Amino acid sequence: MFKFGNTLPFIISVAFLFTGSWGHDAVAEEGGGEQVRPGEGEAERLFESAEQKSQAFQAVTFAFPIRTLKERIEEKAKLYAEARASYREVIDLQSETYTVESAFRIAEMALDIRDQLKALPIPPSLVTSPALADYRVWLDDELISPAQDEAVRALAFASELALSFDMAVQLRAVERLRTIGLLEEKAIGPLLESSYPEVREAASHLLP
């Protein structure tokens, strides 16, 4: 395996975020209570709090030198975990307006990590090094791919959650998938099982 300095902290900082299960059982476990559908006011309040944490997360950007990159990844990992936990609280409330959208926001945060890793410049010491190809493989396998996999899981979960609501919510989920653009079958699949023919047809048009 390629070794870029002390890479272990980077792998741990990013990969630990993308462990654990997705699904209704996981939501109930993380949320700490029975799923209910309260007034939208409480869901809106929690969603706005999660949005503030997400904005703080997005403000952290990756950059070299290596010490800066390590610090930024650790900071972004902490903020990701905090924002994700807040969005999961909203999901637990089963709000027609905010529950499915919260799952999509988690996916977008994972994609933010992926895109920032992709945008990292090649370290100057590797520009002409024979190890450059190994570095690119390592970056993709250990950091970029786990971030994208997390996004796909979150998108699939959002699609699954949408099935608990009416056709309007499900069609909004289809449109959000289209907007985000990560159109993998795993993410779209739950909506293909919708009880509404209109939703199944719209979702089928997203398939590659």
Q: What residue spans define the domains of the chain?
A: 8-204
Mean pLDDT of the chain: 85
Q: How many Å apart are CA 200 and CA 74, to the nearest integer?
A: 41
Q: How many Å apart are CA 97 and CA 34, to the nearest integer?
A: 19
For residue 69 the two structure tokens come to 């990159």
For residue 125 the two structure tokens come to 């010491």
Kindly report, residue by residue over 119-148, the tens digit of the pLDDT: 998 888 888 889 999 989 988 998 899 999
The alpha-carbon radius of gyration of the chain (Å, integer) is 18
pTM for this structure? 0.85
For residue 153, which phi and psi values (nearest 5 degrees)? Answer: -60, -40
Looking at residue 28, what is its pLDDT?
38
Q: How many Å apart are CA 73 and CA 81, to the nearest integer?
A: 12
What number of CA atoms fall less than 13 Å from residue 18's CA on the CB side? 24
32: left (phi over 0), alpha (psi -120 to 50) or beta: left
Determine what percent of the chain is predicted with pLDDT higher than 70. 81
For residue 120, which phi and psi values (nearest 5 degrees)? Answer: -60, 135
Looking at residue 40, what is its pLDDT?
86
- pLDDT band of residue 18 (cuts 50, 70, 90) is low
6: buried, middle or exposed (CB in 10 Å: 19+, 13-18, 0-12)? Answer: exposed
In the DSSP assignment, the letter for residue 121 is: P
